[in-house]
Amino acid sequence: MPSPKRVTFIYRNYEGLGVGYLASYVRSLGHQVQLVLYPDPWSDTYVKQKDKDSPMTGRLQSRVNRQLLREIVDFRPDLLCFSTVTDDYRWCSETALTLKAATGAVTVFGGVHVTSVPERVALNPAVDLLALGEGERALAQVLEQLDDWKTGADLKIAGIWYRRDGEIHQNGKGEAIQDLDNLPFPAKDLFYQRLPGLARTYTATTSRGCPYQCTYCYNAVMLPIYRSQGKWLRQRSVDNVIEELTWAKKTYGPRHFLFMDDVFASSKKWVEEFAQRYKREVDVPFALITEAVVLNKEETVRCLKEAGLVNVQVGVQTVNEESKKSIDRPESRQQLHNAFTFMNKYKVHYQVDHMLGIPGETDADQRLALEFYNEYRPDIVSVFWLKYYPKLPIIDLAMEKGILKAEDLEDIEEGRNEASYLFGGNAPEFKKWLGYNFLFGWLNFLPRTGSRGSRSSSPPRCRGCCRRSSAARTSEAATTSAAWSGRSSTSRGSWPGTGVGSGPACRRPRRRTASRGQSRARGRCRLPTAPTPLTPIASSSAAARAARSPPPASRPPGPGPDEPDFVP
Ligand code: B12
Ligand code: SF4
């Protein structure tokens, strides 16, 4: 029986469930585990490398680094573990080289980036071993065979690759673990010791994978690889999840639970059982991330709300049906409409993720989205800019449209694509979209004008100066109808930098009394009328009603490609 090993996980983000699971698994086998968290506030690509190296941030960082290096050396690790998303890959490589030199330990890299481009990572001198796929069992076997491998024996462990004498030894693509209930709960204590504030929100996943393959998402890379092993979307049992949550509640007393599944509650039967037991046995407010295909069922939203749901983050990305098709989004606009209506009805706080930079999208698509969000008024519209990650199918579309060139692929696969998903991403001419970015972010501070499906049944009242004629309303209806159908609307003025029109809303001329230098708002209708696309069409008008009825679903509601029990 080989001796227990000393394992150090080096991690740059605040909490990683993957690391938590791996640490817990190997600790349950008797190995000693250290977690070193580099509290890098810049890891999330808010700041570019050159700014990170500035005298102020650089000095602070190097002090933290020296301290952590001492801790690692004192621990005398046998194995240094790095969990790599593409944005962290370069940082992990540099850190691994330093730590290897300081400790003499073996380095192993795993995570999404490694699984996506193992052939490249295998050439990296900072990396001794690569772990493809979900690495709990593979890591345990590496620890068992580490001494033999160091003396020249081969490793025959599924998913573990290495380079020896210039040759790359490959052992397949590793595992998508099917029996999730058999995994020990993630080692939260390691993170909470470092950052106690994390314990206020206990994060968990009730599943792994997703049945869909949106072309900008890692699932589109993973599903084709792992589907042959069984299901890619794998669901933990309600028993197992409730056991973790009751244990977590007793141990850490969190204020909230946050479910970070790719798509939470994919099965209706599961969610109903979960919601009932959660209320009875856990009863702590919770938030989750999911998709509209799940929230499209009133019963699902209702039972989650009754169980204590306080916030949902829901992916939308685009509301144009054609765009949705081009990136393989699963939901139709009708399903979005249903999901938002139910969340409004049950007063669930929700945040939608909207993507800027989808190849081929135009101003009309953003106007359409603004109108749609205005109608339902999600609590937050978060904008994420499209950024290309290795092997994603959307790269083909970007190349087709001339957004990416062959030589960009190497930068993407080597983690050198420094575009920020928060600002600009890889969008060509990104400045053109900044106005929309602003409008999405501030939508909730603009007057609420929606009616159907929205939280407020009465739109804010204009103070009488711009009561519109039915002709004006009909003309707006036509404008909106054009937007629904994805056509660009005609003859609008614009909000600066957005092309979002001022339209025909307030026909009353501005009062001429407002002199230069006075607030430009003075003398105007007090209810800002500029954003006509956000102004509802009068609900009494039949034309308007027709214009606002979402078009029929382009994709028939039904199960996802990999999961028959998926809630349509
Ligand atoms: C929660 C989450 C976050 C959290 C926590 C981040 C984190 N790194 O865990 C937050 C909100 C901070 C975050 C931020 C971002 N994220 Co994020 N995030 C996720 C999400 C939804 C879940 C991660 C998770 O917990 N998975 C479950 C665990 C069990 O799986 P795992 O982490 O992959 O680990 C397993 C294996 O990979 C392997 N493994 C992993 N590491 C190692 C190491 C060793 C040594 C071994 C042996 C094995 C091994 O074994 C683990 C256990 O089975 C994933 C999607 C997903 N489901 O993976 C995206 C994902 C990781 N994020 C992604 C991205 C792009 C980002 C952001 C840039 C923002 C954005 N645009 O989405 C930032 C970047 C932050 C950063 N620098 O890390 C991408 C990464 C794509 C890529 N090629 O790198 C993913 C895959 C989603 C996607 N868009 O496709 N994210
Ligand atoms: S539905 Fe969500 S998690 Fe699933 S593939 Fe699409 S973006 Fe990824």
SS3 letters for 420-440?
ECCEECCCCCCHHHHHHHHHH
Look at residue 187 and tell me if it is in a domain. Answer: no
Residues in the chain: 568
Q: Are residues 251 and 349 in the same domain?
A: yes
Count of beta carbons in the 10 Å neighbourhood of residue 321: 22
- Distance CA(521)–CA(510), nearest Å, equals 10
Which pLDDT belongs to residue 48? 56
Same domain, 17 and 163: yes
Q: Is the domain of 257 the same as that of 339?
A: yes
User: Which atom belonging to ligand 2 lies closest to the Cα atom of 223?
Assistant: 5
Distance CA 531, CA 366 (A): 13
What contacts 516, CB < 8 A, 6 or more positions away?
none
Is 507 contained in some domain?
A: no
Query: Does the residue 506 lie in any domain?
Result: no
Q: What is the CA radius of gyration of the chain?
A: 26
403 CA to middle of ligand 2, Å? 23
How much of the chain exceeds pLDDT 90, in percent? 70
For residue 214, the 8-state DSSP code is -
- Whether the CB of 263 sits within 6 Å of ligand 2: yes
pLDDT at res. 477:
33
DSSP 379: S
The predicted-structure confidence for 215-263, as pLDDT tens digits, reads as follows: 999 999 999 999 999 999 999 999 999 999 999 999 999 999 999 999 9
So what's the pLDDT on residue 13? 77
* Co-location of 486 and 405 in the same domain: no
Q: What is the largest CA-CA distance in the chain?
A: 90
* Mean pLDDT within 84-91: 94
Q: What is the pLDDT of residue 1?
A: 67
Residue from 386, 377, 417, 378 nearest 323 by CA: 386
What is the domain range of residue 56?
A: 6-169
Residue 345 sits in the same domain as residue 433: yes
**Residues 295-351: pLDDT tens digits?**
999 999 999 999 999 999 999 999 999 999 999 999 999 999 999 999 999 999 999
Residues 294 and 437 occupy one common structural domain: yes
Q: Measured in angstroms, how far is the CA atom of residue 530 from the centroid of ligand 1?
A: 41
pLDDT at 426: 95
Q: What tens digit of pLDDT does each residue of 55-79 get?
A: 656 666 677 788 889 999 999 999 9
Closest of 119, 107, 194, 182 to residue 149, by C-alpha: 107
Q: Which helix (H) or strand (E) holds 458?
A: none
Q: Encode burial over 172-205: b for 16+ CB neighbours within 10 A, e otherwise.
A: ebbbbbeebeebbbbbbbbbbeeeeebbeebbbb
Q: What is the predicted pLDDT for the residue at 57?
A: 61
Q: Which residue has the tokens 């019963």?
A: 299
Q: What is the pLDDT of residue 56?
A: 58
Confidence of residue 469 (pLDDT cuts 50, 70, 90): very low
Measured from the alpha carbon of residue 158, the closest ligand is 1
Count Cβ neighbours within 10 Å for each residue of 362-373 and write b for 16 or more, e otherwise.
Answer: ebbbbbbbbbbb
- Coil vs helix vs strand at 7: strand
Average pLDDT value over all residues in the chain = 81
Mean pLDDT of all residues in 108-133: 98
Q: Kindly report the pTM of this predicted structure.
A: 0.83
> In testing the pocket of ligand 2, which one of 212, 234, 264, 386 has its CB within 8 Å of the most ligand atoms?
212
The enclosing domain of 64 has a CATH number of 3.40.50.280
341-391 pLDDT, tens digit each: 999 999 999 999 999 999 999 999 999 999 999 999 999 999 999 999 999
Shared domain check, 205 and 124: no
Name the token pair of 262: 């790719």
Residue 122 confidence class, pLDDT cut points 50, 70, 90: very high
pLDDT reported for residue 14: 83
Question: Is residue 59 assigned to a domain?
Answer: yes
Q: Which atom of ligand 1 is nearest to the CA of 139?
A: 47
Let me know whether 120 and 244 are in one domain.
no
Atom of ligand 1 nearest to the CA of 109: 45
In a domain, 186, yes or no: no
Answer whether residue 515 is part of any domain: no
Give me the phi and psi of 136, to 5 degrees please.
-55, -55
Atom of ligand 2 nearest to the CA of 262: 3
The residue behind tokens 């009863």 is 283
Q: Whose CA is nearest to atom 3 of ligand 2?
A: 262
Let me know whether 10 and 98 are in one domain.
yes
**Contact assessment for residue 446 and residue 459, using Cβ atoms and an 8 Å cutoff:** no
Q: What's the domain count of the chain? A: 3
Residue 552 has pLDDT above 60, yes or no: no
Number of H helices, E strands in the chain: 21, 15
**Nearest residue (CA) to ligand 1, atom 55:** 262
- In three-state form (DSSP H/G/I as H, E/B as E, the rest C), the secondary structure along 195-211 is CHHHHHEEEECCEECCC
8, 36 contact by CB (below 8 A): yes
The pLDDT confidence band at residue 562, using thresholds 50, 70 and 90, is very low
Residues 6+ apart with CB under 8 A from 275: 303, 304, 306, 307
Rounded CA-CA distance 22/131 in Å is 12
Least confident span in 88-97, 135-144, 180-189, 503-512: 503-512
Give residue 210 CA to ligand 2 midpoint distance, Å: 6
Q: Quick check: CB of 378 below 6 Å from ligand 2?
A: no
Ligand 2 centre from 216 Cα, in Å? 9
410/465 same-domain check: no
Closest-lying ligand 1 atom to the alpha carbon of residue 210? 57
pLDDT in tens, 243-256: 999 999 999 999 99
Considering the domain boundaries, does residue 510 fall inside one? no
Tell which of 154, 169, 184 closes a domain.
Answer: 169
- CA-CA distances (angstroms) from residue 6 to 193, 246, 262? 18, 30, 32
> Which pLDDT belongs to residue 161?
98
Cα–Cα dist 488/501, whole Å? 11
Asked which of 14-23, 291-300, 328-337, 452-461 is least confident by mean pLDDT, the reply is 452-461
- Asked if residue 214 has its Cβ within 6 Å of ligand 2, the reply is yes
Cα dihedral 356→357→363→364 (10° resolution): -80
CB 371 within 8 A of CB 337: no
Q: Is 213 in the pocket of ligand 2 (CB under 6 A)?
A: yes
Task: State residue 141 phi and psi, 5-degree precision.
Answer: -70, -35
Q: Which of 213, 214, 555 maximizes ligand 2 atoms within 8 Å of its Cβ, making it the mutation to test the pocket?
A: 214
Question: What's the CA-to-centroid distance between 290 and ligand 2, angstroms?
Answer: 9
**What is the distance between the alpha carbons of residues 232 and 210, in angstroms, rounded to a whole number?**
7
| pLDDT category of residue 12 using cuts at 50, 70 and 90 | confident
Asked if the model's pLDDT at residue 462 lies above 60, the reply is: no
Question: For position 447, what pLDDT does the model report?
Answer: 82
Lowest mean pLDDT among 1-5, 17-21, 58-62, 124-128: 58-62
Question: Is residue 200 domain-resident?
Answer: yes
| Chain centroid offset of residue 24 CA | 25
Q: Is 327 in the pocket of ligand 2 (CB under 6 A)?
A: no
Look up residue 350 and give its two tokens. 């929700």
Residue 38: the pLDDT is: 81
Same domain, 238 and 133: no
Residue-wise pLDDT for 404-450, tens only, equals 999 999 999 999 998 989 999 999 988 999 999 999 999 988 887 65
Q: Report CA(111)–ligand 1 centroid distance (Å).
A: 7
Residues 369 and 280 in one domain: yes
pLDDT value of residue 515: 34
Looking at the CA of residue 142, tell me the nearest atom of ligand 1. Answer: 47
pLDDT at 392: 98
Domain boundary at 152, 169, 186, which?
169
What per-residue confidence (pLDDT) applies to 63? 73
- Taking residues 541-548, what's their average pLDDT? 34
> Ligand 1 test: best mutation among 191, 218, 356, 391, most atoms within 8 Å of CB?
218
* pLDDT given for residue 432 in this prediction: 92
Among 206, 207, 208, 210, say which to mutate for ligand 2: greatest number of ligand atoms within 8 Å of CB.
210
